[in-house]
Structure 1
């Protein structure tokens, strides 16, 4: 095995020795100068795509949350490196017997970055703000997670939106906030850990109130707070310092009055490097200290060169979505089944995914309660695919197929390569494919708006509940999928309102079976993504939810 450093190929041992010398030299020079590397050196981490906004309620992607999670905190969070829910800004919490009232007991002594104190009224101001969104903010492109969890808004402006299940938030006393919903839901309490629902200061809410969404349908331009220092104040271990759009990097600075343990490293820079080879070369050259979503073929060479490459547990799914409103041919179940039989998912797992990847039989990984061994399966069978297309009268069908560029995701390490395999498989059974590619920041609103008949996307679980996967897509009508099916929606409605976890697990199994009979899309694979750090960094605990907290990292 060989690796590359500044354009030269080095054997692994030589590369490791070179890295050790570089790290030792930097540490020695800092000691000689009397400096602490955690105070004098920024930690530079390479992301795969630009954040959409500094306001997390307007985001639905991991690249944005990687930034906002360091600055803004939620009522609940997950244990470091795991999926168990624990207290965040709320030290403890409880629910009513019917699951419609959630009481949060806030931590004492927590302050926002602008100096305001966290209290129950500040928590309620955030939830009331989100429920009160109007105009373009009611588009699922802007407030995806709010709509996914709470439905609609206080005053819906689109008849397609369901009624909001958010009822109220009351400050019972200074540190006790009570959130009431109109019906129980399987998304709680997990939803209170979602990065979208991070709490900002009341002054920040006032500053953000006048901001408008620009752009056009399918390509929104979100409010840009990057030039207005202090507009968004959270409670996290880091504060926003600068968003350099041209340099594609966000700089964060340690918040010294943080309520918990202060961040080990003073300055954190999250820099976008879209191309995976460029990320690896930047790491090898010492330009960055880590990056996410290591290409499977790079894991062993990087380890042999002395880098640290932790592998996360599997907690995601890649799928090919069918949008029946974008292509009426997809309304025919025989066509949907034909496409499923046409795709060689095992080839994708064997040639593109890292070791430990597996073909998906349904829309949740087997590690999540509610996975069913009895779902309808669709084995790779090109002959059967051709038969089904002929029976449907679509043997010469032409269809558009979208895939993202300038990004890799935990479930999708090489989008173009995956697309190429699927496109080849579909062409092999007689289809004509019209390819449509877009950069990641344009791709999400493009697909969410129903502009693609077929497209690649996936999901990394936000919390350990099957509804976080299934309800995200199939809890009701969604323009990204473009279908209405009473059986699918009713089984999801039943599971969503069941407060007993054991009964929910049985209902999830039934839901998976109903969904795979209907086949709104094709689950392709589950993947264990890797993350990498340089030898001189003590990494933070890696998260199966890809929710690393960089305040826990340090220079060795």
Structure 2
């Protein structure tokens, strides 16, 4: 195995970096209700309608505004009651019954009832709507029925044990029946949820402000009066705003800036456990990337050990599979992530494109680690005979391109939205018409995925997941690169902010010192 030259460029870069744990512990006597939290992030939200997006900025925002029947536990181990207080599987395992929490109101004032849940889940699983990017996630559902005003039954096509976990998926958010008399286009810019915050204002491309929901069903929260997400595209500007007090939280600081943040007495530079995986999304439908041999060659050409050191400053681990070790179905036995330029060059010559191809990597503007990763891949792939270009685009264009399949390669990342491994399987490997739009479709993977969700024996289920991971490594529809920690720079005036293992966070627990 050859050593990448990138490993020698910045040797030991992570040796001097600290991973600090915890955020804003603070003194209880200095914390009082109220305050306006400011978060600086690189990208704006794109929509307020959950099932029509895969962008994390949308998800992180909408999970403060909308709620689901179940809620993910912060440690990622399962779900707990949300808008449903309890649920039960039928004896024949072909249906689940959910009992709804009483006294819950939407931001518009309407009281939550079963009709709202039936409408919302039917909308989430509508596969005839091209804008619904998550419908296939709910394919095992046959029907959603109202039992009474506060009881809903979900009938299945096949036994589906993970269903309560999928009811915590943000795409299963609950809206008023018939969108309260509006349409999907209206809801894309006007949210009406039951969450601890409602949308106060949205200056697209600049900022989105949430305000406290005074009628929230859970008493005593949220503490904050408001939370504002400011769009600050440049990593260094976000860092300076945090250090200067213009922002309370720097969301996803550049890994190489973490050591600078940690030197400030007023800042916690924190790395949290996460299911986050960074990967190159390859459009398998493009003729340049339609051969698994070429795609696998691209995977062999990436020196993941050096990427972790150079790009992510040690705040990551080399990816061996597209399933994070934070999920129960992760396999340690996957063959295909090793760095081997000889294998890579050989596979190119054996592929349908022995003379190489011309490809473009699309990346978001102003995100330092994505740019550096793209540069490393560009040089590595050129070394195996490809012609590679890097194109910087604004996030809205990147999202549109991905949705329409108008890309060859994008630098992307994903975190699991539910505690069950099957969700990442569906999102990243059963993606011919949904998910990341890689265009990948392998009948064996689809068959094993369906078998896995119906399998009750955890060992047999994990065997199926391992087969899927190896097949995906062989086909290389995506190139997994690294498992990254969730990075945040947080003012020490912030108390109680701690991201969940599944990658999201709840601001209803967050407080500010005064």
TM-score relative to the length of structure 2: 0.87
Partner of 2:6: none
Within 5 Å, which residues of 2 pair with 1:137-148? 138-139=129-130, 142-145=131-134, 147-148=135-136
> Given the alignment, which residue of 162, 168, 172 partners 2:143?
168
> Given the alignment, which residue of 51, 55, 66 partners 1:57?
51
Q: Secondary structure at the match of 2:375?
A: helix
Give 1:72 deviation, angstroms.
1.0
Q: Does 1:94 align with 2:88?
A: yes
Q: Within 1, Cα distance between the matches of 2:163 and 2:343?
A: 42
> Given the alignment, which residue of 122, 125, 137 partners 1:149?
137
Task: Give deviations 1:394-421, integer Å, cap 9, x for gaps.
Answer: 343123233221465xxxx711110000
Task: Give deviations 1:377-434, integer Å, cap 9, x for gaps.
Answer: 24222233222222336343123233221465xxxx7111100000011111221113
Unaligned runs of 5+ in 2: 1-23
Query: Does the CA contact (< 8 Å) of 2:200 and 2:210 recur in 1?
Result: yes
> Given the alignment, which residue of 388, 411, 424 partners 2:347?
388
Query: Does the CA contact (< 8 Å) of 2:127 and 2:136 recur in 1?
Result: no
Partner of 2:17: none
Query: Does the CA contact (< 8 Å) of 1:474 and 1:492 recur in 2?
Result: no
Sort the Cα spacing of 1:386 and 1:502 in 2 relative to 1 into closer, same or farther, 3 A. Answer: closer
Q: Within 2, Cα distance between the matches of 1:441 and 1:184?
A: 38
Sort the Cα spacing of 1:396 and 1:98 in 2 relative to 1 into closer, same or farther, 3 A. Answer: farther
Q: Within 1, Cα distance between the matches of 2:119 and 2:458?
A: 31
Partner of 1:428: 383
Q: Secondary structure at the match of 1:279?
A: helix
Task: Give deviations 1:292-334, integer Å, cap 9, x for gaps.
Answer: 112222223222212122321131211223323212x533333
Partner of 1:10: none
Q: Within 2, Cα distance between the matches of 1:400 and 1:187?
A: 39
Give 1:166 deviation, angstroms.
3.4
Q: Within 2, Cα distance between the matches of 1:53 and 1:461?
A: 20
Q: Does 1:297 align with 2:256?
A: yes
Q: Within 1, Cα distance between the matches of 2:305 and 2:118?
A: 48
- Bigger radius of gyration, 1 or 2? 1
Query: Does the CA contact (< 8 Å) of 2:363 and 2:374 recur in 1?
Result: no
Task: Give deviations 1:150-208, integer Å, cap 9, x for gaps.
Answer: 24xxxxxxxxxxxxx43322221222111223223465222110112211223634212
Partner of 2:400: 445
Partner of 1:484: 441
Q: Within 2, Cα distance between the matches of 1:503 and 1:476?
A: 24
Sort the Cα spacing of 1:60 and 1:205 in 2 relative to 1 into closer, same or farther, 3 A. Answer: farther
Within 5 Å, which residues of 2 pair with 1:278-357? 278-306=237-265, 307-327=267-287, 329-357=288-316
Query: Does the CA contact (< 8 Å) of 1:337 and 1:378 recur in 2?
Result: no
TM-score relative to the length of structure 1: 0.81
Query: Does the CA contact (< 8 Å) of 2:301 and 2:384 recur in 1?
Result: yes
Q: Secondary structure at the match of 2:441?
A: coil
Sort the Cα spacing of 1:344 and 1:86 in 2 relative to 1 into closer, same or farther, 3 A. Answer: same
RMSD: 2.7
- What count of residue pairs does the alignment treat as equivalent? 485
Give 1:37 deviation, angstroms.
6.9
Partner of 2:166: 191
Q: Does 1:232 align with 2:232?
A: no
Partner of 1:534: 491
Q: Secondary structure at the match of 1:402?
A: strand
Q: Secondary structure at the match of 2:227?
A: strand
Give 1:512 deviation, angstroms.
1.5
Within 5 Å, which residues of 2 pair with 1:69-218? 69-131=63-125, 138-139=129-130, 142-145=131-134, 147-151=135-139, 165-185=140-160, 187-202=162-177, 204-208=179-183, 211=185
Query: Does the CA contact (< 8 Å) of 2:137 and 2:423 recur in 1?
Result: no
Q: Within 2, Cα distance between the matches of 1:337 and 1:127?
A: 38
Moved over 4 A (4+): 131-134
